């Protein structure tokens, strides 16, 4: 009997980045769900319990930091590892992400090996 596929929720309002991440992670055998905004991602968490959440920071309506805060303050999702993949690469943003409980922080543009290497640390621990 094969193990069930690990599930990842990706949230990014930029369709191109979302599609790239979906493609990379599906190719590696993960079950991946994509949402284009944090509000829809929060709704998805009511029916989908991912093993990992990956989110952009800059999004309309609710930014990634607010989304992370909501995820970490929910009993259902507080223990899910949360990784930011964003174009924002400054100390203040990284510190805010860490203070809110983000597991890791990657910057765009990224390469496939970096994404898979970082995310697999949290979803496929050895």
Taking alpha carbons only, the member of 57, 52, 51 closest to residue 69 is: 57
Note every long-range contact of 29-32, with CB atoms under 8 Å and residues 24 or more positions apart, other chains counting.
29/5, 30/5, 30/6, 30/123, 31/5, 31/6, 31/7, 32/7, 32/8
- The total domain count for the chain is 1
pLDDT in tens, 31-77: 999 999 999 999 999 998 999 999 999 999 999 999 999 999 999 99
Q: Is residue 2 part of a domain?
A: no
Q: Is residue 1 part of a domain?
A: no
- Tell me what pLDDT residue 124 has: 80
Q: Is residue 126 part of a domain?
A: no
Note down the domain range covering 90. 7-120
> Do the beta carbons of residue 52 and residue 123 sit within 8 Å?
yes
CATH number at 17 reads 3.40.50.2300
Q: What is the mean pLDDT of the chain?
A: 93
pTM > 0.75: yes
Distances (CA, A) of 48 to 27, 32, 94, 106, 118: 20, 10, 27, 24, 22
Q: Is residue 106 part of a domain?
A: yes
Residue 86, beta-bridge partner list:
107
Q: Is residue 84 part of a domain?
A: yes
């Amino acid at each position: 009997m094969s193990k069930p596929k690990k599930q990842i929720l990706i949230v990014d309002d930029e369709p191109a980045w979302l599609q790239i991440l979906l493609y990379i992670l599906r190719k590696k055998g993960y079950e991946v769900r994509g949402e284009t905004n944090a509000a829809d991602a929060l709704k998805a968490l009511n029916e989908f319990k991912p093993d990992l959440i990956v989110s952009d920071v800059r999004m309309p309506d609710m930014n990634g930091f607010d989304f992370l805060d909501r995820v970490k303050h929910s009993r259902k999702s507080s223990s899910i590892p949360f990784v930011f993949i964003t174009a924002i690469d400054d100390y203040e943003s990284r510190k805010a992400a860490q203070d809110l409980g983000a597991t890791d922080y990657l910057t765009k543009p990224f390469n496939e090996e970096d994404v898979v290497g970082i995310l697999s640390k949290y979803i496929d621990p050895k």
